[in-house]
Structure 1
Amino acid sequence: MYFIALATDYDGTLAHDGAVSEKTLAALERFKKSGRKLLLVTGRELPDLKRVFPDVGLFDKVVAENGALIYTPASEEERVISLSPEPKFVARLKKQGVKPLSVGRSIVATWEPHQATVLEVIKKMGLELEIIFNKGAVMILPSGVNKATGLAAALEDLRLSPHNVVGIGDAENDHAFLQACGCSVAVDNAIPAVKSTATLVTSGARGKGVEELIAKLIKRDHGIVPRRHDGIVLGSSGGDDIYLSPTDSVLIAGSSGIGKSTLATALTERFVENRFQFCVFDPEGDYDGLEGAVRLGDGSSAPTKAQVLDLVAKADSNVVVNGLSLRVNERPDFFADLLPGLGSFRRRTARPHWLVIDEAHHLLPKRRDDTRSVLSLELPGTILITVHPEAISTDALRLVTAVIALGPTAKDVVKAFCRETGIEPPKDIPTPKGDRVLFWRPQVRKKLTTVKVIEPRQSLKRHSRKYAEGQLDETGSFYFRGPDDAMNLRAHNLMIFAQMAEGIDDKTWEFHLRAGDYSKWFRHQIRDKDLARETAEAEKDRKLSAEESRKRVLDAVRRRYTAPATAPEE
């Protein structure tokens, strides 16, 4: 479920001549029973609203006085979120003959044609007030207060994002809150200006339009809007933008070092730009320093489930869950313990909007028997990144709605996906060239396309934390043994390597130096060609003393791996 809440105007939208029909009330009740939230956003003052609408208790939140007051029917709590009107201002309006005149907790309201008098009084008194119109009504509020600001406050209380709200209205004062919603809807009787900017327009007027919208939401949810409406641009093909929807489950696969993490980084930048919340599961430390995100965990300790859930509960917080301290065989259990709680939170709030699961074959491995129970019935807004799609849980692969295959093994990725999911592979699978990738929607069965993907602005140093602080396996570690195999000191990361290198004797240091062992390890295990090249120069320089060569090599290591993770590679 993507659209978690419906925010509706009252007069002219939900109500006709101030009253809500029984059919419309029944539709609201069905909407609530579907597990969603209802918000009423109105210019009316709260006492007046309660008088004309005794069923206000159906709503989870009421934004009254055109955004100035938040009311919670369940607890009857009232919260004014703007300044009260100045008595002198109200007195001056009365003296100028402005009537009828209504004064609320923050709002002052009258009717046309008194707007000219109101504006004149505001200017003469030097007040920071705004006039808002609503089909003949003239509402005066503190500057910056409107239905959008009130809705934002109500959604914050409910821990919901505007992306997951459908708004429906009809009049001038509805513009602001409708445009703040993930989907804006105008009822058929709405003024032309509201219709022209709405995502959808109902065929029914007022309450019938609301009933129509509710029926579609319950049946189709996010399907009521086109993918491009709130999608993220993956790239372009044939002059057309290709979008990923927040309800997609995406597989990004290809050989090692081909650009999977780079593409994922570019997508997270689009998430930030569009205010989509995301959570990255980062077993290898690839996303340290990712802009717009907070990292939890490091090479020495993994974050707790409570830490992750507490942070994602904040709608403006993006999270990178660093699992570098976990051994490969510990990762599935860690993820299996975390995912149900995160899934439960997503079902209530639809947040985080996107989950990015790197090394998905480690976190959702095919060999686990409990994967089906760990997974939700669906994985909307999820990106699975892997070198080995065939090693990912088949249950997870069957939920994939978009396949992105990179590099020379792109054809093999598509074939492996089809083999594992039982889908007949496409007849013609093109080979992507240059900066293009294969893109395919298997559930639609359309022809594969090659897409020129977006580029990230930031440069992350791939695996830098893994090699600096992580736990390389036995075959990937460096061993200080010396010329006589008198020792067996294992360095399972670069920081341990540096510490050991400073403590060993000169004879042992130079034995490995002259054998070229350091540059070989940097090249083949750390996969840092630049570091290997610089180290090889020190290994070949016979004029360097043990102390000088040691300093040169360790300086090169620390320059690269103790700098901020966002530093570009040299």
Structure 2
Amino acid sequence: MGYKLIAIDMDGTLLNSKQKVSQKNIQAIQEAKSKGIYVVLCSGRAYDGIIDSAKILGINESDQYMICYGGSVIQNYDQEVIYQRTLKNENCEEIARFLTNKKIHYKFIDNTGTLYQSYQDWIEKHMLNPKLGIVKVLLKTRKHKLPEVLKLVHEQYDSDYFVVQTSEKELEIFPKNVNKGNALERLTKYLKISPKEVMAIGDYDNDMPMFKTAKFSVAVDNAIPKVKQLSDAVVADNDHDGVAEAIEKYVLE
């Protein structure tokens, strides 16, 4: 069965170490798009952090889609939102209290990409604009402290939220069942595409849910070990056109 949608993580996957998209990746994605295949950027970033890459790739059209904020929002490039899930204010207040007591640095991020240093900052803004909502909580710590923080946060919140490590120094808290995989499943239903017609490419913990949703999953060579283990194939790293290799080998051939 041919693929109709390619879901691609950005940081560490599509983007190289200089945060650029290689010419080979651009060419492969444009060729896939020319064959009517959806190319969906799936990122923890906000719209503003995705749009420039989408323009370079030539996929920034109203009939193309992105999954942003780690799966909290699905929208097209006209910024029409087809799905959004946010944290309740009372949940944000409790999370802020817990993290403050544990001396863990955090920021709330709303559905416009605005960052808030405290619950008080957020609630004051929300009172002025009730349409805003918190899509995730970003936690930062020192690399050597991350295992301890991960254990603490997982124990506290796994039953009611989705907690995931997103880098060597960061983890994020989302509403329950909000992740790239569930967002990808929602988007395929919206587009009337079977998960059997989807390929996903990624490198880190937060990409694993979409690996479980897609029929075929590809890890770039710089991916962490457990992502490689879960994947169906491994290609070159993000500095050597791994995305292009995956598309050329498994979609275009």
**TM-score when normalising by structure 1:** 0.35
Partner SS for 2:200: strand
Q: Tell whether the 8 Å contact from 1:7 to 1:40 is kept in structure 2 after alignment.
A: yes
Residue 211 in structure 1 maps to residue 214 in structure 2: no
Among 85, 94, 97, the residue aligned to 1:92: 97
Structure 1 206/98 Cα, relative in aligned 2: closer, same or farther at 3 Å? Answer: same
Give how far 1:62 is off: 1.0
Q: Deviations over 1:231-289 (max 9, x none)?
A: xxxxxxxxxxxxxxxxxxxxxxxxxxxxxxxxxxxxxxxxxxxxxxxxxxxxxxxxxxx
Residue 150 of structure 1 deviates from its aligned partner by 0.6
Task: Measure how far apart 1:211 and its partner are.
Answer: 0.6
In 1: Cα distance, 2:41 partner to 2:208 partner: 15
Matches within 5 A, 1:419-430: none
Offset, 1:10: 0.9
- 1:427-506 to 2 correspondences below 5 Å: none
Please show how residues 258-269 of structure 1 align to structure 2 within 5 Å.
Answer: none
Task: Give 1:85 shift.
Answer: 5.0
CA distance in 2, matches of 1:30, 1:76: 25
Structure 1 residue ranges, 4+ long, deviating more than 6 angstroms after superposition: 121-127
Q: Contact 1:9–1:169 at 8 Å: present in 2 too?
A: yes
Distance 2:58 2:147 in 1: 34
Give, in angstroms, the shift of residue 79 of structure 1: 3.9
**Does the 8 Å contact 2:211/2:230 carry over to 1?**
no
Q: Once the 2 structures are TM-superposed, how far is the Cα of residue 46 of structure 1 from its aligned partner?
A: 2.8
Structure possessing the higher radius of gyration over alpha carbons: 1
Q: CA RMSD in A?
A: 3.0
**In structure 2, do the counterparts of structure 1 residues 118 and 90 end up closer, same or farther at CA, with 3 Å as the change threshold?**
farther
The change in CA–CA distance for 1:125 and 1:61 in structure 2 (over 3 A counts) is closer
The counterpart of 2:67, out of the listed 60, 63, 67, is: 63
Task: From the superposition, tell whether residues 19 and 92 of structure 1 become closer, same or farther in structure 2 (CA, over 3 Å).
Answer: farther
Measured in 2, the distance between the counterparts of 1:58 and 1:30 equals: 11
% identical aligned pairs: 26
Map of 2:13 onto structure 1: 13
Count how many residue pairs are aligned between Structure 1 and Structure 2. Answer: 218
Shift of the 114–158 alpha-carbon distance from structure 1 to 2, 3 Å rule, reads: same
> Normalization by structure 2: what TM-score?
0.74
Aligned to 1:28: 29
More strand by share: 2
Deviation track 1:286-320 (CA, whole Å, cap 9, x = no partner) reads: xxxxxxxxxxxxxxxxxxxxxxxxxxxxxxxxxxx
CA contact 1:98–1:114 (8 Å) conserved in 2 = no
Q: Quick one: which amino acid aligns to residue 24 of structure 1? A: N
Q: Which residue of 2 aligns with 1:111?
A: 140
Q: CA 1:121 to 1:53, structure 2 compared with 1: closer, same or farther past 3 Å?
A: same
Asked which structure has the greater RCO (Cα within 8 Å, sep 6+), the reply is 2
Helix, strand or coil at the partner of 2:206: helix
Native 8 Å contact 1:41 1:67 kept in 2:
yes
SS in 2 for 1:213: helix
Aligned counterpart in structure 2 of residue 164 of structure 1, from 171, 193, 197: 197
Distance 1:58 1:114, change over 3 A: same
Question: Unaligned stretches of 5+ in structure 1?
Answer: 221-570
Whole-angstrom CA distance in 2 between matches of 1:161 and 1:155: 6
Q: 1:160: how far off?
A: 0.5
How many angstroms does 1:178 deviate by? 0.9
Q: Secondary structure at the match of 1:58?
A: coil
1:135 maps onto 2:167 in alignment: yes
Contact 2:30 2:58 in 1 (8 A): no
Equivalent of 1:179, from 192, 212, 230? Answer: 212
Q: Quote the residue 1:321 is aligned against.
A: none
